[in-house]
Structure 1
Amino acid sequence: MEYRQPLTLAEALRLLRDAVAPVRLLAGGTDLIPLMREVSSRPATLIDLKSIAELSELSLHADGSAVIGAALPAIKVTGNQALQRLWPGVVESIAMMGSRQIQSRATLGGNICHGSPAADTVPALIAAGARCRICSIQGERMVPVNEVITSPGKTCLRQGEILVSVHLPPRPPRSADAYLRITPRQKMDVAVAGVAINLILADDSVVERCTVALGAVAPVAFAVPEVSEIMTGNVIDEAMVARLQRAIRQACRPIDDLRGTAEYRTHVAGVLAVRAFKQTLQRALERKP
């Protein structure tokens, strides 16, 4: 196996274009290294992205938007207090990527590109309306996070492309997000169900826009457009919350496995949705103009 450690994005893209296949990109390696213990999963070329400054930056802007480098260690994201205030749900999801030791290596880009149906960060990013900057020798494109993972373990990235950064949109007043999940064990386990909510209020009691995304209850994480139809422009009351819960359960398409039955996943997704909505609402009310 040939190991390469480029110092710039341009160098990495050239190496990726010219490398002997199969090629794997190393960001944090917390998913890749265990896979490489199997002979069948060992690449001919391993390109380490950790030394590329552009992939390890975190920038916040006055309008509340943010850019998170795909190879930035998770612990540097969760430790940023300004980002926590603006995007608490996104930060919560990143904080669930294993132990502190794992988070010192694990990256947001790696969590997305691994393509797990139960990846914690993906529902939170979908709800947030985040986009991924994907680059190749030919140029770059911006892809919504909900279009990046196409099936379990598969992404839309083409040959020669690298996920460079994740872009969060501007954050208006009276808005917030939250991410909740349930696992068989309290920590460091794969989600049985995960729910992310991003809420923007028109005033203290009327929803301007609400996006809900689910993880671990279908082959890929996905947004639930029915929720937006139920909530947008309407007054928040118990009837609305009940409709939200029903819509979430109807949208679930889970499987039975060792961590939980399809029936259980569907039920708890509805419970988590109500809890996440109430938490997001409280946060949004605290962010008044």
Structure 2
Amino acid sequence: MFDIKGIVEPETLNEALDMLNKNTSLKIIAGGTDVLIRLHHRNIENVELISLRKIEGLDEIKILENKDIEIGAMTSFRKIFRNQIITDNISILGEAAVSMGGPQVRNMATIGGNICNGAVSADSASTLYALNAKLKLQNSNGERIIPINEFYLGPGKVDLKKDEILTKIIIEKKSYENTKGHYIKFSNRKAMDIAMIGVAVVLIEEDNKFKDLRIALGVAAPTPIRCIEAENYAKGIEINEENIESIAKETMKSTKARNSWRASKDFREHLIKVLTVRAIKEIINKGDVQ
């Protein structure tokens, strides 16, 4: 059923990095929910896999001494939406995690695999964009840390070298402190479907004004995007119905929606405006802003 040439299962990160350094044709498998589907459809064949499942410490969620949050790349979506650190500090990521497929998929799928797959529809991607996430990438010679928006290069393309492993997702204290957010996924079906549009909104309110507003979208361009024009427009203006509608219109300056078999360009743009308004109001109406 699967055209697999072989599979290795290192037990330490150093062992895995050494294997990749010696054999860059190895294909990393995390939860397997993406790779196995590609194998099933013969999109990749005669592949040698390197599984990260046995490596301890890659599925941990913790707050560091400087209050930055670290999420291991092998953390499952089930663990993310059930984790108290996520719930207390970046609940928007928990909302994205619980929207990811059904229970069986969430038990297996990992946040690192979701990111590295490079899919513009990845439920975690737009949320991590809104949280200004950084990614720690390691190889046998060292590590590099890059903003997530520099990681996505195009549809299905990411800046991951053949000898590298994504090990950590970092949310800095300054990027989540005093913020509240909301994620909305719109799909053709109510559950277990790929997002037609994903909207992630993070905001800080001060004196009934937008002190900071971040709007990130999935499936609105070749990669996940931030709506910078709308965010700049929102800074310092009063939180009211008219301004929220205007902010939603400003998001159109950043989008590059297209026609596809799933939805037309016009419908996607309509959804983006409607869901942006809904996400902002959901945060405010719940009294979630600080």
Question: Using the alignment, how far apart are the partners of 2:58 and 2:92 within structure 1?
Answer: 22
Conserved? CA contact 1:65–1:168, under 8 Å: yes
For the pair 1:67 / 2:70, whether they are aligned, the reply is yes
> What is residue 241 of structure 1 aligned with on the other side?
244
1:185 and 2:197 aligned: no
Return the letter of the residue paired with 2:261. L
The equivalent residue for 1:169 is 172
Give the alignment partner of residue 267 of structure 1, picking from 239, 246, 270: 270
TM-score by length of 1: 0.93
- AA partner of residue 182 (structure 2): A
Q: How far has the Cα of 1:2 moved from its partner?
A: 2.3
SS state of the match for residue 108, structure 2? coil
Q: Which letter maps to 2:235? A: T
Q: Does 1:14 align with 2:18?
A: yes
Query: One-letter code of the match for 2:264?
Result: T
CA RMSD of aligned residues (A): 1.7
Identity percentage of aligned residues:
29
Runs of 4+ with deviation above 3 angstroms: 61-65, 285-288
Amino acid at match of 2:177: P
How many corresponding residue pairs? 284
Whether contact under 8 Å (1:74, 1:106) holds in the other structure is yes
Alpha-carbon distance change, 233 to 40 in structure 1, aligned in 2, over 3 angstroms: closer
* Partner residue in 2 for 1:209: 212
**2-side partners of 1:58 and 1:178: how far apart?**
21
Structure 1 residue 159, shift from structure 2 partner: 2.2
User: Counterpart of 1:177 in structure 2: which amino acid?
Assistant: G
CA contact (8 A) 1:60 1:83 kept: no
CA–CA separation in structure 2 for the residues paired with 1:94 and 1:107: 10
Match for 2:101 among 98, 102, 124?
Answer: 98
- Provide the C-alpha distance between the structure 2 equivalents of 1:127 and 1:234, rounded to a whole number of angstroms: 20
1:89 paired with 2:78, answer: no
Structure 2 partner of 1:118: 121
Write the mapping of 1:41-52 to structure 2, written as runs, cut at 5 A. Answer: 41-52=44-55
Q: How does 1:128-147 map to 2 (within 5 A)?
A: 128-147=131-150
- 5+ residue gaps, structure 2, are none
SS of 2:58's partner is helix
Find the residue that maps to 2:181 and give its secondary structure. strand
